[in-house]
Each structure stands twice: as structure tokens, then as C-alpha cells.
């Protein structure tokens, strides 16, 4: 079941891909951004993570904790040049492998049939994002064993009391919130 603004964010306790504990309760009193993505071979996902990485110092300064979930197995992050060069070396935010989609389910994420997911992506006309992916040299075909091609992304902004202030379920594989929404959320005491 999908979540709604105003609900208490579902608690979870897990480990990130660096074997560090990650628990939503540990961030009580802080604002939290949670993003659910597909896999390490998904270029749209990598573009989103790249943008988060570039803003991570600003997000930390604004006291926003960032947790990113992937369906990918932990070993896939070590095989990815993108993660090796950019993400794993600095550990600026938590990246969690949720191969069984336990936390994905807790947060109400869905998987569309692959042909429907492909049609929605084509209809979304993400040419500017594709151009940016090419310019940055991000590679990948989005196909990775053990993951779902039709998995849709989602983003959640959670306040200091662990109340959902923004809930965004992606309509296609490239539909994530703009990072300016996160900055706005961090700098305002009011709801987004």
C-alpha cells in the first residue's frame, strides 16, 4: 500500500553496502531523504545518484541525512566503475542493498510489467536526462540479474519527527524528485 504525506515513516533497520548499520530511528531529530532506485546498471538511477553526490556536502550542511535503496546485490556495487570512482570512495550517504525488496514493500513501491515500464519511460520523453547521461559517460542498460526491469523509483522527505512531508512515487524509470525540492525542504521549517 502506498504511503501518504502526514503518515509516520515506516521504521527499518538494516546495513548499508559498507556493512554500516542504518536505522531510520537513528535519525530522529534530523530531516531524512530516502530514495528507492532500481539497480547499479540503471543509467537514470546513476544520474540521480550522481546529482545527489554532487550536492551531498550541501545536504550534510543543511542537516539532511540521505539513504538510497537499490535492488542490487552488494557485490554489484563493487563491480560498478561509477560506484567505485564516485560513491564508495567517499561514503557521503548510505546506500542500501535490498535484494528481497523488504523495505521497498514497507514503503509501498511497485513493479510494473517490463513492457508497461518501457512504454511509460518512452512516453515520458526524458531526452534531456539521456543527453546528460551521455555527456557524463554514465553507462548501463538497466538489466541486472536478480532485479526488476519494471521497478519504479520513489522519493520520500521525512521531518525531524519522522513524519512524511513529501511522497513521490515515480511514474516511469526516470521520474525522481528534483534535488531543489530537497534543498527547499531542508531550508524551510514548514512542510514542502
pLDDT tens digits, the chain, 192 residues: what are they? Answer: 999 999 999 999 999 998 999 999 999 999 999 999 999 999 999 999 999 999 999 999 999 999 999 999 999 998 887 787 777 777 789 999 999 999 999 999 999 888 888 888 888 889 899 999 999 998 889 999 999 999 999 999 999 999 999 999 999 999 999 999 999 999 886 444
Q: Residue 84: its pLDDT value, please?
A: 79
Q: What H or E segment, with its residue span, contains residue 158?
A: strand 154-158
Q: Residue 23: its pLDDT value, please?
A: 98
pTM of the model: 0.92
Domain at 26-187, CATH class: alpha beta
Q: Residue 92: its pLDDT value, please?
A: 84
Residue in 4, 5, 10, 35 with CA at minimum distance from that of residue 24: 10
Count of positions (residues) in the chain = 192
Q: Residue 113: its pLDDT value, please?
A: 85
Let me know: does 164 contact 157? Beta carbons within 8 Å. yes
For 65-90, b/e burial (b = at least 16 CB within 10 A) is bbbbbbbbbbebbeebebbeebbeee
Residues 6+ apart with CB under 8 A from 135: none
Q: What H or E segment, with its residue span, contains residue 75?
A: helix 74-79
Q: How many CB atoms lie within 10 A of CB 22?
A: 20
The whole-angstrom distance between residue 103's C-alpha and the CA centroid of its chain comes to 12
Q: Residue 6: its pLDDT value, please?
A: 98
DSSP state of 48: H
Q: Residue 192: its pLDDT value, please?
A: 45
Domain ranges of the chain: 26-187
Rounded to whole angstroms, the Cα distance separating 26 from 39 reads: 26
Q: Residue 191: its pLDDT value, please?
A: 46
Q: Residue 79: its pLDDT value, please?
A: 86
Rounded to whole angstroms, the Cα distance separating 67 from 163 reads: 16
Amino acid at each position: 500500500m502506498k504511503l501518504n504525506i502526514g503518515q509516520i515513516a515506516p521504521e527499518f533497520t538494516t546495513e548499508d553496502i559498507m556493512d554500516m548499520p542504518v536505522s531510520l530511528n537513528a535519525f530522529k531529530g534530523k530531516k531524512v531523504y530516502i530514495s528507492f532506485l532500481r539497480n547499479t546498471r540503471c543509467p537514470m538511477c546513476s544520474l540521480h545518484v550522481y546529482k545527489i553526490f554532487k550536492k551531498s556536502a550541501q545536504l550534510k550542511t543543511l542537516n539532511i541525512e540521505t539513504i538510497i535503496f537499490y535492488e542490487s546485490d552488494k557485490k554489484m556495487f563493487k563491480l560498478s566503475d561509477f560506484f567505485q570512482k564516485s560513491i564508495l570512495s567517499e561514503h557521503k550517504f548510505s546506500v542500501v542493498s535490498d535484494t528481497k525488496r523488504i523495505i521497498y514493500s514497507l514503503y509501498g513501491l511497485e513493479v510494473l510489467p517490463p513492457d508497461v515500464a518501457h512504454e511509460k519511460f518512452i512516453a515520458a520523453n526524458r531526452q534531456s536526462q539521456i543527453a546528460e547521461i551521455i555527456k557524463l559517460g554514465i553507462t548501463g542498460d538497466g538489466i541486472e540479474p536478480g532485479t526488476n526491469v519494471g521497478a519504479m523509483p520513489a522519493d520520500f522527505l521525512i521531518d525531524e519527527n519522522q513524519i512524511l512531508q513529501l511522497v513521490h512515487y515515480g511514474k516511469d524509470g526516470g521520474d525522481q524528485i528534483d534535488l531543489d525540492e530537497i534543498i527547499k525542504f531542508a531550508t524551510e521549517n514548514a512542510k514542502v
